[in-house]
A and B are shown apart, each in its own frame.
Chain A
């Protein structure tokens, strides 16, 4: 029977100081592979719509006519399935999270180059 079995751990923990990080003064570094948010290099995108068809949550909208790729940030579950199926490899999982927000966040990316080309026709 012991009643002070925890004392060694507690003593060590007092000497060690806090194990937590005092956010936001110190921020936790994300790992290289942390799945934060989907980033797109829109100049490489051919608007094939494969990512939209495969996304399990339907977070992606691809508008071929308008050359626009958009994503509902809060609907995305960071599974990176879109990044795997993309034939141009222009989607990748960045290690920074979307910042918190009160409403839905929708990011639109338009390929300016393609629109210019259409005008030049």
Chain B
């Protein structure tokens, strides 16, 4: 038995701009155990429901995280709408779906760039982010914001998108798809990339299930779990199959996310082709009274919102269970037995979002 050493990872580490701390117990170069510590950027957003009324809180909810901002806003609005029995117009449901899928693309492209950066492939990183920039431009044109859109509101959406713009989006996605295919080849076929991801951090199906992994982490281990199949927003009217891989290693997780980008492009195309005309918002009056759980599939996996309202304009309780929080136990499992040099990549492959986790 070699000497045991404890090496701190983070809270600031070049691979991740967000603070998470891990105490790594090493024997020589092999990790025996990782002890996480979170809580560096807790902002008390859940407590804020006591100070901001339920309408204002829409804008707080989407600021939980900068990457899934739209889906946080949407999930919160869906919960309140269910409590208040508001029927959202169909066009609004479709627009929400389009923005949600674009968010997924932008999140996964961001992650692919970060992964490339983590194994030192800088040009691949730049090209992933170059493609992501086109998605951000679509956001800016349609919603007014690049990261935080403020378009989702209780009862629908605040901005309509004209048919010309929708067609333009399809055109941009078509050209992006071609470039993405070339980029995907590098991520999936290049031998130097494969050397860093193949067989690294294997999470078995049983372990993923037992540890409650969600999103691409679970899908890469062979668990067919995608909440979009529940049919919220307009997903019930679109055709798609959840993407599942069986290897459970970093390569499988990369592959799941890459394939999800193509799936998102396909879903947006479908939505654009069948989006109905009509209203985009209904007027909401009164205050919510009751409680509700919403589940939404974010780029990183399942997120749960719990809302408890008491009939006044301030909510009693708002709770978010974010996907990264659910994936931390699975991350610790994959870290066991890995080499010290693989740690940045393994931490990245759960696509951690610490802002979400700590709210």
- Report the bound CA distance from A35 to B158 in whole Å: 13
In A1-34, the 8 Å CB interface with B consists of 1-3, 5-6, 8-10, 13, 19, 30-31, 33-34
Question: How near does chain A come to B345, taking the closest CB pair, in angstroms?
Answer: 18
* Stretch among A64-72, A77-85, A98-106, A108-116 lining the B interface: A77-85
Which residues from chain A contact B186 at a C-beta distance below 8 Å?
Answer: 5-6, 9
Q: What is the number of residues of chain A that contact chain B, defined by CB distance less than 8 Å?
A: 24
Bits for B166-201, please: 1 = Cβ < 8 Å to A, else 0.
Answer: 000000000000010011011001111010000000
User: Is B130 part of the contact surface with A, judged by Cβ < 8 Å?
Assistant: yes
- Report the bound CA distance from A55 to B72 in whole Å: 20
Question: How near does chain A come to B102, taking the closest CB pair, in angstroms?
Answer: 15
Q: If the complex has contacts A3-B192, A5-B190, A56-B52, are A34 and B144 also in contact, measured as CB distance less than 8 A?
A: yes
Which residues from chain A contact B133 at a C-beta distance below 8 Å?
Answer: 19
The main secondary structure of chain A at its interface with chain B is loop
- In contact, B182 and A8 (Cβ under 8 angstroms): yes
Q: Give the interface size bracket for B toward A.
A: 20 to 34
- Report the bound CA distance from A6 to B189 in whole Å: 10
Q: If the complex has contacts A33-B144, A56-B59, are A78 and B123 also in contact, measured as CB distance less than 8 A?
A: no
Question: How near does chain B come to A78, taking the closest CB pair, in angstroms?
Answer: 7
- In contact, B190 and A84 (Cβ under 8 angstroms): no
User: Is B150 part of the contact surface with A, judged by Cβ < 8 Å?
Assistant: yes
Closest to B137 in A: A31
16 A-B residue pairs with Cβ-Cβ distance under 8 Å, sorted by A, are A1-B194, A5-B185, A5-B186, A5-B190, A6-B186, A9-B123, A9-B179, A9-B186, A13-B123, A19-B133, A31-B140, A56-B57, A77-B59, A77-B63, A78-B150, A93-B144
B residues near A (Cβ < 8 Å) are 52, 55-57, 59-60, 63, 121, 123-124, 127, 130, 133, 140-145, 148, 150, 158-159, 179, 182-183, 185-186, 189-192, 194
